[in-house]
Amino acid sequence: MSDSAPSATSGPAPEATAPAGATRPIRFVHQGAVRTVSGLPATTTVLGWLREDQRLTGTKEGCNEGDCGACTVLVGELDAAGALRFKPVNSCIQWLPALDGKALVTVEDLGGNHPVQQAMVACHGSQCGFCTPGIVMSLVGTGERCAEHCAGSGQAPSRAQIADDLSGNLCRCTGYRPILDAGAQALADPATLPRLATPALAEQLRTLQADAPLHLPGDGALAPPFHAPRTLDELAALREAFPEATLLAGCTDIGLWLNKQFRRFEGVIALGAVPELQAIEVVDGALHIGAGASLQAAWDALAQHWPASTEMGRRFASRPVREAGTLGGNIANGSPIGDGAPVLMALDATLRLRLGQSTRSVPLDRFYLGYMKNALQPGEFIEAITVPLPQPGDLLRAWKLSKRFDCDISALACGLHLRLDGERVAEARFAFGGLAATVARARQAEAAVTGQPWTEGTARAAMAALTQDYQPLTDLRASAGHRQRTAANLLWRLWLETRPVDPLPANTTTVWEAA
């Protein structure tokens, strides 16, 4: 991606404030028609609008924090190439303006006889039925994606893929087996599924693209001003003008600030309408990931170059959260645990930060200054993340430990990166989350191996040194002692898997790979 001024997207010139008269309603396609919504706070959730405004109660609220999936809906949008794609969304933590220019599909829109609905009945996939609409929507989303990707080939999703796509849909009754059966049955031939992505809908969305960028004026602290710039330059100008405004990407965390913490927002600048921020490309031997790229897209790209990070991507979050959340948001959020940062830090990622028209680069391992504090200046934002591509001798492992395999906040997450020069460790970057106030490198452990022959003794020295690197805390996810010992044990696992003689394959070292 480039710093030069873009772009094909036209819009008002960047200005310090929303241009007078630029306010317009939120517009999106729903049930075949363009819906026009105005007069509601920008923080109105899609779920709230459906259930309270529209009295469409098929979509359920189970947790109000994007963790149970009962509120799953599908959102269709045109991608960079103009193709219409649908993604599952947790409607309880998605705000209505995020639908602007998109299409919303809920369980009511399937008609009751969609193959997924029929299979769920036939396979006894519902008991209490409360999670069922969300599960149906997730399965329909999988079918839509498969129909899109497997066009022609008609390839059905594997049972494992279906289970992964359902990892954000909790069911307390069935034990899931009949739901997986229903998915396998309904999606056996994706090419025959009724499609949500129709040419007519795509045409409607193209029409909406002519709308001016969305600016909502706001009405007090409960209805903050909302801006959805279309270009990087407009974003930079808005951000500089309103440094106190909250930058909103996927709303997977900020949604909780509202729903659970009742935080008030001075203003909101949404990133979702800036296509430049979503670009992912390889330039000069490095992978550049726009800060607004979804976790799903970003991690798919990362795993393509660094396959060892694949499992972390699966475990990062549920599919809807991975589709909504962004890598930039994950980095900027600065959770001490955040699953992205340890891996990216181990890979020596750098951030491109932008303030107004100027940019600067900051290595990720110098970005976090303290608990939930980072190096961003007022008005500055993350534009992109740059990750070096593998060099000869590079070895990466990326692991997380948590109570549950899927979408659980890590007790510990790590990226362990070695560059071997023959049997000698030329360079080591070990980064851990969950062990300190920020994600941080294990400098002592790195020092213990750097320049040393990669031997059992070196590995043990690193494990011993690790105790000097962190003083973890005890909390609901794990005790301090457990974090310490498993961090060391993961270095041991690294040794077992990468030792020069008789390295162990992953299916003998982790239960997730074992059969």
Q: Where are the alpha helices (DSSP H) in 266-405?
A: 295-305, 310-316, 319-324, 327-333, 340-346
Q: According to CB under 8 A, which one of 26, 171, 232, 376 is a site residue for other proteins?
A: 171
Q: According to CB under 8 A, which one of 91, 94, 126, 410 is a site residue for other proteins?
A: 126
What is the secondary structure of 366-382 as a DSSP string?
GTEEETTEESPPTTEEE
Q: How far is the CB of 176 from other proteins (least distance, A)?
A: 4
Positions 93 through 112 that interact with other proteins (CB under 8 A): 106-108, 110-112
Residue 127 sits in the site that holds other proteins (CB under 8 A)? yes
Residue 478 sits in the site that holds other proteins (CB under 8 A)? yes
Q: Which is nearer to other proteins, 149 or 260 (CB)?
A: 260
Binding pattern to other proteins, positions 11-50, x when CB under 8 A? Answer: ----------------------------------------
Q: Which is nearer to other proteins, 181 or 240 (CB)?
A: 181
Within its chain, how far is the Cα of 140 from the centroid? 20
Q: According to CB under 8 A, which one of 232, 398, 418, 490 is a site residue for other proteins?
A: 490
Pairing of strands 226-228, 268-270: parallel
Q: Which has the closest alpha carbon to 160: 346, 406, 464?
A: 406
Q: Which is nearer to other proteins, 386 or 484 (CB)?
A: 484
**Contacts for 220 with CB less than 8 Å, ≥ 6 apart:** none
Q: Where are the alpha helices (DSSP H) in 70-131?
A: 115-122
Residue 68 sits in the site that holds other proteins (CB under 8 A)? yes
Q: For residues 274 and 354, is the Cβ–Cβ distance under 8 A? A: no
What is the Rg, in whole angstroms, of the alpha carbon atoms belonging to the chain? 23
* Rounded to 5°, angle at Cα 396 from 361 and 287: 35
Binding pattern to other proteins, positions 294-333, x when CB under 8 A? Answer: ----------------------------------------
Positions 254 through 293 that interact with other proteins (CB under 8 A): 259-260, 262
Q: Where are the alpha helices (DSSP H) in 352-431?
A: none
Pairing of strands 103-105, 72-78: antiparallel
Q: Which is nearer to other proteins, 78 or 120 (CB)?
A: 120
Q: Which is nearer to other proteins, 164 or 383 (CB)?
A: 164
Q: Which is nearer to other proteins, 136 or 235 (CB)?
A: 136
Q: According to CB under 8 A, which one of 18, 27, 46, 61 is a site residue for other proteins?
A: 61
Q: How far is the CB of 509 from other proteins (least distance, A)?
A: 5
Q: Which is nearer to other proteins, 361 or 510 (CB)?
A: 510
Positions 400 through 419 that interact with other proteins (CB under 8 A): 401-409, 411
Positions 450 through 469 that interact with other proteins (CB under 8 A): 463
Rounded CA-CA distance 247/274 in Å is 13
Rounded CA-CA distance 306/429 in Å is 15
Q: Which is nearer to other proteins, 223 or 286 (CB)?
A: 223
Positions 491 through 510 that interact with other proteins (CB under 8 A): 492-493, 496, 504, 508-510
Residue 72 sits in the site that holds other proteins (CB under 8 A)? no
Q: Which is nearer to other proteins, 501 or 511 (CB)?
A: 511
**Contacts for 238 with CB less than 8 Å, ≥ 6 apart:** 14, 227, 229, 245, 269
Residue 425 sits in the site that holds other proteins (CB under 8 A)? no
Question: Among the candidate windows 66-74, 203-211, 329-337, 362-370, which touches other proteins by CB under 8 A?
Answer: 66-74
Q: According to CB under 8 A, which one of 10, 17, 38, 57 is a site residue for other proteins?
A: 57
Q: Measured over all CA atoms, what is the biggest interatomic distance in the chain, rounded to whole angstroms?
A: 70
Pairing of strands 72-78, 286-290: unpaired
Amino acid, single-letter form, for residue 465 = A
Rounded CA-CA distance 244/147 in Å is 43
User: Which pair of tokens denotes residue 432?
Assistant: 């851990």
Q: According to CB under 8 A, which one of 30, 60, 102, 441 is a site residue for other proteins?
A: 60
Q: How far is the CB of 57 from other proteins (least distance, A)?
A: 4
Q: According to CB under 8 A, which one of 90, 94, 142, 167 is a site residue for other proteins?
A: 167
Q: For residues 9 and 233, is the Cβ–Cβ distance under 8 A? A: no
Dihedral of CA atoms 483, 486, 487, 490 in degrees, nearest 10, equals: -160
- CA 430 vs CA 57, 169, 415: distances in Å: 48, 33, 6
Q: How far is the CB of 452 from other proteins (least distance, A)?
A: 18
